Amino acid sequence: MVDTGSSVNVLYLDVFKKLKLDDKKLTPIRTQLSGFTGATIEPEGLIRLPVEVGTYPKVARAEMEFIVVNLACVHNIILGRPGIAQIGAIISMPHLCMKFRTPAGVGVLRGDIRSARKCYVKAVQRNEGGSSRVNAIIKGSKAAIREQPEPAEEVEDIRLSDDYPERTVRIGATLPPDLRSSIVEVLREYADIFAWGPQDMPGIARSTICHHLTVNPAARPVK
């Protein structure tokens, strides 16, 4: 799996064993990994492996570092940003294609959309089965995770209009009565400046709020 969202190259422990690699070659690391679910993972270690990417004769070779993790996954490895940068690869998401320079010219990797779909289905089935696994992995630590800011004091919900009871704002619950009354009065007077949905933001160009996808049905998909 080629993943530009992963800050490390990942090798799964079962693949590590299938390659009959020596555990003694693993370098211990203390850095934890975190996935898109927010869960942290203790890696087994780090190992450097020779990697060949491409089809002969257009092959790129590099010594890459892989973080070994004890997780089950539908992929064998994750080629993250470090590996992509090492071979100087350029990725085209619309065409699902990766190109890179080699001594024999430009190498090209393309995949099979059917295989990609099978991997996706297997990953979803595992997730639904209660054995959720992470695919996108980044470096991190518990100390680096910042808590979301919370109000310093208790707050209360203020309804701005009787016609729309779901539209509320929060103000401090310990405000002096006179100040609270003044704030509520101002908020209700200018309630029309709040945008509760797209219908409350007229005049914005569609080019600003709409996304466009470039789809080429004739392109060959890649893994």
Distance CA 99, CA 58 (A): 10
Determine the 3-state secondary structure of 11 from DSSP.
strand
Domain count, the chain: 1
* 187 backbone φψ class: left, alpha, beta (φ>0; ψ -120 to 50): alpha
Owning domain of residue 22: 10-143
Tokens of 162: 């009787």
| Interior/surface letters 45-65, b for 16+ CB within 10 angstroms, e for the rest | bbbebebebbeeebebebebb
User: Does residue 18 lie in a domain region?
Assistant: yes
Name the pTM for this structure: 0.54
User: Does residue 164 lie in a domain region?
Assistant: no
Which has more pLDDT, 116 or 88?
88
User: Does residue 54 lie in a domain region?
Assistant: yes
Q: What value does the mean pLDDT take over residues 73-80?
A: 86
Helix (H) or strand (E) holding 67: strand 58-69
Residue 42: which CATH number?
A: 2.40.70
User: Does residue 4 lie in a domain region?
Assistant: no
User: Does residue 163 lie in a domain region?
Assistant: no
Closest CA to 173 of 163, 183, 164: 183
- pLDDT tens, residue by residue, 180-191: 899 999 998 988
80 neighbors 33 (Cβ within 8 angstroms): no
Residue type at 67 in one-letter notation: I
Residue 194 has pLDDT above 90, yes or no: no
